[in-house]
Structure 1
Amino acid sequence: MEDCKLPIDAMIDILARLPVKTLMRFKCVCKFVYDLIKNNHQFMDKHYEFRKGKSHGVVIDLQPDNAPWPNKVFNLIYKESECDDAVCTYLDLPNSNTRYVKCCHGILCLILCRGDLIGSDIFNIISPEIIFDVLILNPFTREIKALPFIKVPDKPPNRQCVEIRFGFGLSNNMTWKIIMLLSFQDANWEIEDSDGIVMVCSQVGNLWSWRQIDAALYSPYLRSLMRTGDFYFKGKYYWPKADNDLIWFDLDDEVFGKIELPSDVKNLLHYTVMNESIAVFTGLRPCTVNEFCTEIWVMDENNNNNWHKHAIIPSSDDIFRNEHFDPIGFWNPRGHLLVFSGRMDLMYTNFYDNDIDDEEFYFKPGIGPNLISIDLETHEKKTIFTSQERKSTLNICLNQDGHVQVCSDRSVDSNILWNMGAYARTCNESLKLP
């Protein structure tokens, strides 16, 4: 650094604007730069604030057609700037059983299941021993850390069904936390009430530990939470309910609350975050005789009961031609909507009754869909990815010592598995690892 004629403050400001991939190469320049990138939390925060407005990133979770329920597939789609091509990276998790991936400030929380969940993670009969392993991953720096596992508490007497939900976020006092919600209910639905348990894993220094908090007052909040569409936002974690209300957990005070859906919103599809506000977008609705559209509604931050219609996105969706248009979320702070769009086939299945066929729509193999980004101001549409393009795989595995590690990316030629019902969470690049 002695030969550097650039002022230190100016150099730090320049480095904070660079992509993580570039900074990873700069670590070997000198000890000062290495410590700045690896250990200086003020620099990490400054870098995150600069980059979240420049880069585009999203984690997409979905239930592929060829995978047994309740297993999911997770993909990270990312590009460093408007002019870069999008890269799709499949997250290859080291467990074939039920898993969850949560996202906050560019950090992923991977939750893997040891044990059997029968049917799905909604209203299961659970085996006596269900353990969830928890990993924290920075997909941009390729750093990973194993946290203490959590065993599902014993179910109360006469309670056989349980809803299990997770959350992950950063409190306003800068404490990372993981939340596990459990709602135990009667297997035959003969008892309408439920018993709720809330477990919280908090970071104190370099240590993480699980503890149970009092949830007696909040059992009604924990029932019938949706299995997708949850998100972190400004010190709270949110889960939508089956009745379209939005349940939140304050990561500072560790209390629950509720936001009601605006009465004017019809056919709600997802809650999400856009332009530093909570938003909802609807499923397709007829807006003219020959056209369908999706509506975007935004909540007033100072009044949870005040919502306004932000945008209307027209679509060429035509169920008679099997054209599909499925909004799944936003992937940058300025509000570019992501949708799946493509041709679909009608297939007949008999999941529930061998004598009766059900009609199901599937994307045609090898044809689609396309992942499209729509500018909400201009309605300009750009195809950023298709299911036929090459993708990379981020392998997460156990090394010879039994410790978790991230293996190098590898490119694969197989088609990317998309399906209806996907959900996207914004994931901006970060240098941190909690």
Structure 2
Amino acid sequence: MENCRLSTDLVVDILSRLRVKSLMRFKCVCKFFYNLITNDLRFMDTHYEFHKAKTDCVLLETGLAVRENYLLYKESSEYNEIGCIYLDIPTTPRAMWVKCCKGMLCLISTRNDIAKLDNVDYLIYDIWICNPSIRKVKALPSVTVPYRLPYNAYVHNEFGFGISNDMTWKVVMLLEICSFDVSTNDQQITLVYSQVGGDSWSLRQINAVTSCRDIGGQFNDFYLSGLDMGLNNDFYLKGRYYWLANRFHDEPYTQCLIWFDMNDEVFGRIELRSDIIIPSISIMNDTIALISSVGDSSSFDIWLMMGDDNNTYWHKQASIDCVVDINESWIPMGIWNLDGELLVYLFKRVEDDWDWDSDSEYVERGVPPYFISVNLVTQERKMFSVSKERKSITMASHPTAGDFQVYNERNIDITEEWERNNFRGEALYARVYEERLHFL
């Protein structure tokens, strides 16, 4: 910095406008850059707020029983390409859940076979916090559920991940332990796992408020998914974690949002419109956005939540008409930037590109995913293809030992990788992802 002709303030301002990937390279330039990028909390906050307002990135989950996770980001508006980072989360013998909050990912895995808990005394969960932007992962102390399991049982799981106003990270765990013996009552347990400073975390049990089986999409059913890993609509927003709940046993069928406040550690409920079908929930203008299908799904309406907890109403923000042929379906993924653009997955059915596999499932041959970004105001549409080469963040594969490390990115040939992916409409969900330099 001694020979730099620019003022320090100007250099800091320039650096704050760069992507995290570039900053990871520049921290090796000099000690000033290194300390600014890795230790200066004020610079980290400035960088996060600047890029939060310009985000064009989502965390995409695919698949039903086996989930895969990707970061999709607008790589080139000029050439209509979406970059793809595949999160090569290690294959574990059990289920893996991934939650997202302010650029941090929470990875949760169970050591037990939750579909059949024979001869298991206690449930044990392994949890990691990951920031893929800066390639850092930390294993948290494992969680042992303080409840002795009945014989021949199974469990439903739902999780939330967020941060309170005092910058305390928290994981909320909603568990429902069920016995195959109908004479045994189900046991609902809600746990809050929170950071208490440094590497120390505390576990507390609080009152349960709802059945986990009400939370999630229509595929969130034990007998359908086998591992209770069905499609969910859940997200973090302004100190609360939200889950979409479907009350199938109600007459008529209703939907609502269950929320957990990270500050007060209490639950609440927001009733949703009963006259619309809601395939997806997103965030727009710092509030909740419902994306509802209309008629035969040839159009979508965007509804924004207005008011507060005591007086909530829904304002129709926009309507999007889909012009599709019989071999195409539009799957709304959510609002993915502050310009008000709806990200849509274009599901193409091409007879020559389909085959019947050994598991009696249709699979697509070598066709990369296509997405459409729709401006809610102008109705302008841009079709994006996933770039032919994608990057992978690969992690070590010893989670139960806590040895969980992020390695370098690498390029992969995408054609073969897409051949048997679960890029199907009912198996997709996207959350907005925001790059950040912070870590625990």
Q: Which amino acid aligns with 1:279?
A: A
- Displacement of 1:306 in angstroms is 0.7
Q: Displacement, 1:142?
A: 1.1
CA gap of 1:162–1:398, structure 2 versus 1, over 3 A, is: closer
Within the alignment, does 1:77 sit opposite 2:72 as a pair?
yes
Other-structure match for 2:147: 154
Distance 2:410 2:6 in 1: 38
CA RMSD of aligned residues (A): 3.0
- Equivalent residue, structure 2, for 1:165: 158
Partner of 1:275 in structure 2?
A: 285
Unaligned runs of 5+ in 1: 64-68, 119-123, 352-356
Query: AA paired with 1:86?
Result: I
| TM-aligned CA deviation for residue 2 of structure 1 | 3.4
- Residues 62-101 of structure 1 aligned to structure 2 (within 5 Å): 62-63=62-63, 70-79=65-74, 82=77, 85-96=81-92, 97-101=94-98
C-alpha distance in structure 1 between counterparts of 2:123 and 2:90, whole Å: 17
Write out aligned runs for 1:176-255 (5 A): 176-187=169-180, 194-215=186-207, 218-220=208-210, 222-226=212-216, 227=230, 228-243=232-247, 244-255=255-266
The SS at the match of 1:241 is strand
Partner of 1:354: none
Asked if 2 retains the 8 angstrom alpha-carbon contact of 1:240 and 1:246, the reply is yes
1:258–1:76 CA distance, 2 compared to 1 (3 A):
same
After superposition, the Cα gap between the structure-2 partners of 1:260 and 1:329, relative to the gap in structure 1 and judged at 3 Å, is same
Cα offset for 1:338?
A: 1.3
Question: What is the one-letter code of the residue matched to 1:89?
Answer: I
Secondary structure of 1:34's counterpart equals helix
Contact 1:111–1:135 (8 Å) recurs in 2 = yes
Q: Which residue of structure 2 lines up, in the alignment, with residue 412 of structure 1?
A: 412
CA distance in 2, matches of 1:74, 1:196: 29
Cα distance in 1, alignment partners of residues 358 and 22 from structure 2: 51
Which residue is 2:271 aligned to? Answer: 260
Q: Shift in Å at residue 194 of structure 1?
A: 4.6
**What amino acid is aligned across from residue 95 of structure 1 in structure 2?**
T
Q: How far does the alpha carbon of each residue in 1:363-389 deviate from its partner, in whole angstroms, 9 at most, with x for none?
A: 642345412211111222222224x83
Partner of 2:106: 109
The SS at the match of 2:305 is strand
Give the letter for the 1:74 counterpart: N
**What's the CA shift for 1:391?**
1.8
SS of corresponding position for 2:166:
coil
TM-score, length of structure 1 as denominator length: 0.84
Q: Write the distance in 2 (CA, Å) between the matches of 1:99 and 1:127.
A: 22
Preserved CA contact (<8 Å) 1:221 1:256: no
Q: Is the 8 A contact 1:235 1:250 kept in 2?
A: yes
- Is 1:302 paired with 2:292? no
Structure 2 CA distance for aligned equivalents of residues 49 and 330 of structure 1: 18
Q: Give the C-alpha shift of residue 77 in structure 1.
A: 0.9
Alignment-mate amino acid for residue 117 of structure 1:
I
Q: Is the 8 A contact 2:119 2:151 kept in 1?
A: no
Native 8 Å contact 2:139 2:402 kept in 1: no
Give the AA of the match of 2:268.
Answer: G
Identity of aligned residues (%): 39
**Alpha-carbon distance in structure 2 between the residues aligned to 1:222 and 1:112:** 17
3-state DSSP class of the match of 1:25?
A: helix
User: How far has the Cα of 1:269 moved from its partner?
Assistant: 0.7
What SS is found at the alignment partner of 1:116?
Answer: coil
After TM superposition, the structure 1 stretch with the greater mean CA deviation from structure 2, 301-310 or 415-424, is: 301-310
Q: Alpha-carbon deviation of 1:209?
A: 1.6
Match of 1:29 in 2: 29
Relative distance call for 1:189 and 1:296 in structure 2 (3 A) is: farther
Distance 2:151 2:316 in 1: 46
Equivalent-residue separation in structure 2 for 1:379 and 1:158 (angstroms): 56
CA contact (8 A) 1:55 1:332 kept: yes
Cα–Cα, structure 1 residues 12 and 80, in superposed 2: closer, same or farther, change >3 Å? farther
Using the TM superposition, name which of 34-43 and 150-159 deviates more.
Answer: 150-159
Relative to structure 2, which stretch is displaced further, 194-203 or 37-46? 194-203
Render the CA deviation track for 1:204-238: whole Å, top value 9, x for unaligned: 231232412221xx333645211511100000111
1:198 Cα offset (Å): 1.6
**2:204 partner SS:** strand
Query: How much has 1:83 moved relative to structure 2?
Result: 5.3
Residues 62, 210 of structure 1: alpha-carbon distance in 2 compared, 3 angstrom cutoff? farther
Distance in 2 (alpha carbons) for counterparts of 1:338 and 1:426:
11
Distance (whole Å) between structure 2 residues aligned to residue 171 and residue 17 of structure 1: 27
**Which position in structure 2 is the counterpart of 1:138?**
131
1:138-179 alpha-carbon deviations (Å, 9 max, x no partner): 111111111112234435658934321111111122111111
Any conservation in 1 of the 2:150–2:179 contact (CA below 8 Å)? Answer: no
CA change 1:310–1:7 in 2 (3 A) is same
Offset of residue 347 of structure 1? 8.1
In structure 2, relative to structure 1, the CA distance for the partners of 1:348 and 1:398 (3 Å cut) is closer
| Secondary structure of the corresponding residue to residue 45 of structure 1 | helix
Alpha-carbon distance, 1:92 to partner: 1.0
Q: Helix, strand or coil for the counterpart of 2:61?
A: strand
Aligned positions, number: 405
Cα separation, 1, equivalents of 2:181 and 2:312: 36
Determine the structure 2 residue equivalent to 1:66.
Answer: none
Match of 2:332 among 297, 315, 327: 327
- Whole-Å separation in 1 of the counterparts to 2:377 and 2:181: 50
Answer yes or no: is the 8 Å Cα contact 2:193–2:201 preserved in 1.
yes
Return the letter of the residue paired with 1:293. Answer: S
1:430, distance to aligned residue in structure 2 (A): 0.7
CA–CA distance in structure 2, aligned partners of residues 405 and 185 of structure 1: 35
Q: Secondary structure at the match of 2:265?
A: coil
Q: What is the Cα deviation at residue 301 of structure 1?
A: 4.4
- Quick one: distance in 1 between partners of 2:172 and 2:51? 28
Equivalent AA in structure 2 for residue 213 of structure 1: Q
2:227 corresponds to: none
Kindly tell me: are residues 146 and 166 of structure 1, through their superposed partners in 2, closer, same or farther at Cα, counting changes over 3 Å? same
Describe the shift of the 1:91–1:284 C-alpha distance in structure 2 as closer, same or farther (beyond 3 A): farther
